[in-house]
Amino acid sequence: MDQRPILFFDSGVGGLSIVGPARAALPDAPFVYAADSAGFPYGTKSETEIAARVPVLLGRLAERYRPRLIVIACNTASTIALPVVRAALDLPVVGTVPAIKPATLLSKTRTIGVLGTEATVRQAYVDDLAAKFAGDCTVLRYGSAALVEMAEAKLHGRVVAPERYAAMLDGLFSQPGGDAIDVIVNACTHFPLVEAELAAAAPGVRFVDGGPGIARRIVHLMRSESWSGAGEGVAVFTRLGDEERALGPALAARGFGRIEQL
């Protein structure tokens, strides 16, 4: 059988939140997880930097691993570089966008929060999603690079004080009208990795993310494909040092038993 993998790409470990529902939906598919550790984090970079960097890296990854499909499991990279990547590569590419539509379906107060990186929340793409799906809602946004670092720390096994999560959410709740927020969109793939901690800091608020929707999209695109078994997953980093190697247990627990450098 054709054993070409599905490749997931992110700046760090955030894309693992997309891998989870995708693996549950396609347990026999081989996966490659690619992290641009040399370029991490993306959320504080300029649009120009990301638009130049991501297509080049995905071209190299596509050449090495010959994937059937690429998932840009990063909201920042998707909102900035997705059209360029699709134009450059002759294979399906799935992006990750803020789950504003599902959030509006859940909100009772018609006030939702969008929690992402600074680079994501300022994109016109988010404006378009809000106009299309949340026209009757107040949409408040907050960008946090620190929360990305906190999610990375969790997967490294480091403890983060609970009050730091409350401080991140205060960036939404302290805005005018923020006290009415009843649903928050985790608009960075890192943030579902710390959803339990965020939920504990905001009782009664619901959190949504794009992971389940992306999994459904992958299944749809791969509906005519078949695999003989997942085998050992590969995690590849653009920089492979002690910090990246320390992620070995967390990666192995998610099916990535082999670590390589691009």
Residue in 18, 70, 74, 222 annotated catalytic: 74
Please tell me the distance from the alpha carbon of residue 20 to that of residue 175, in angstroms, as a whole number. 33
* Three-state DSSP class for residue 150: helix
Q: Tell me if residue 137 is catalytic.
A: no
Considering only CA atoms, which of 120, 123, 115, 117 is closest in space to residue 139?
A: 115
Continuous H helices in the chain: 16-25, 47-65, 75-88, 100-106, 118-121, 124-133, 145-155, 162-173, 195-201, 211-221, 242-245, 248-253
Residue 188 known to be catalytic: yes
Burial letters for 154-177: b for 16+ Cβ neighbours within 10 Å, e otherwise? bbeeeebeeeebeebbebbbeeee
Question: Which pair of structure tokens corresponds to residue 80?
Answer: 């900035």
* Whole-number Å distance between alpha carbons of 111 and 182: 7
Asked if 232 and 258 touch (Cβ cutoff 8 Å), the reply is yes
User: Which entry of 16, 126, 184, 188 is annotated as an active-site residue?
Assistant: 188
Catalytic residues: 74, 188
